[in-house]
Amino acid sequence: MPLRLPCVLMRAGTSRGPFFLSGHLPADPARRDAMLLAALGSPHPLQIDGIGGGNSLTSKVAMIGPSASVDTDVDYLFAQVSVERGLVDTGPNCGNMLAGVGPFAIEAGLVPPQGEETVVRILNRNTGARVEAVVQTPGGQVTYEGEARIPGVPGSAAPIALRFRDVSGSQTGRLFPTGARTETIGDIPVTLIDGAMPMLLLEAARLGTDASLPPEAIEADPALLARIEALRLEAGRRMGLGDVSGSVIPKPALLGPGRDAAGLVARYLTPHAVHRAMAVTGGITLAVAAHTPGTVAAALARPDGDGLRIAHPAGLLEIGLGFADGAVAWASVLRTARRIFEGHLLLPEPVTTAAPPLAAPPLAAE
């Protein structure tokens, strides 16, 4: 018989994927990853035999459980599931998927509603970062209805405010792992920065391209993509991340000078395709870099007070920053989410026999 795995599918920010209670998945990473690949339908370009959407933005997983830490309510583990390769990467964080963690945790009974708004304190197990999500809970119930709009998502929804408390050294423990704010790889000036996400920052013009191009135009240039990947591999080595050929970090970003209402123009790679909007963690890292003299981003950006408006393919992402002792102490961003379906995901027999039996409690307990 197939395995019946309790699951909630959510659109979170500009991403989408299944949300699971961590207790419903095997503790063994290899067995867990085999189940996630089967759930999404990877490896296959269309993910035809699973619930993935055939794109890196819709091939993501969130795993949530109660936190053992006294200053957080829930633990959140993010997984990026490769579409065409049998790989599951739990190295990075995903700020968009984070937008769904708070509502999911409340509706799963992990966090009691606190009034008209409920603050959910989240520990990201991928990076150790702490995030606060402010969820709308009028009458003690999560609502997804509202007037907030974010670029890359049609219509409007209830606002979810995310405040990131740890925006420096997510993987390496240092904002600038090499100690330099700008250095060169070959003849290209780069910034290697580890903010909320390890990133490789590049001025697009230095590579003979334009940061305002549509994603499809950048992806249609194989020579450009190959050059970016070569720079990324060397960046990973210099940042102490080792051989990153099988990892999605560091993430490259092509940057251009601010224009119109935007303080910076950016195209964020995931890393082998161009994001159709902008990753939250990537946007936070760009904002930190833009406010740090000596970086590639700072030379191009026009910061807006203590924040930054970033132009991406779907519109503008606005990041707010808080400072303490001259350094960035936190970053904030507005997101929305929607619960799309809830039920049981049926996994095929080979996965069932490879994984231990799992209970399938009622959805109300999920």
Which distant-in-sequence residues (6+ apart) come within 8 Å of 355 by Cβ?
A: 3, 26, 31, 34, 35
Asked if 347 contacts 38 with a C-beta cutoff of 8 angstroms, the reply is yes
DSSP secondary structure string for all residues of 81-102: EPSSSS-EE-SS--HHHHHHHH
Helix (H) or strand (E) holding 315: strand 315-324
Contact 207, 228 (CB under 8 A): yes
CA 19 remoteness from chain centre? 14
* Tens-digit pLDDT string for the chain (366 aa): 789 999 999 999 999 999 999 999 999 999 999 999 999 999 999 999 999 999 999 999 999 999 989 999 999 999 999 999 999 999 888 889 999 999 999 999 999 999 999 999 999 999 888 999 999 999 999 999 999 999 889 999 999 999 998 788 989 999 999 999 999 999 999 999 999 999 999 999 999 999 999 999 999 999 999 999 999 999 999 999 999 998 999 999 999 999 999 999 999 999 999 999 999 999 999 999 999 999 999 999 998 888 999 999 999 999 999 988 878 889 999 999 999 999 999 998 777 544 444 443 333 333
Do the Cβ atoms of 69 and 61 come closer than 8 Å? no
Domains of the chain: 3-159+336-365 (3.10.310.10), 183-318 (3.10.310.10)
Return the CA Rg of the chain. Answer: 20
Give the three-class secondary structure for 103: helix
Separation between Cα atoms, residue 355 and residue 26, nearest integer Å? 7
Distance CA 204, CA 161 (A): 31
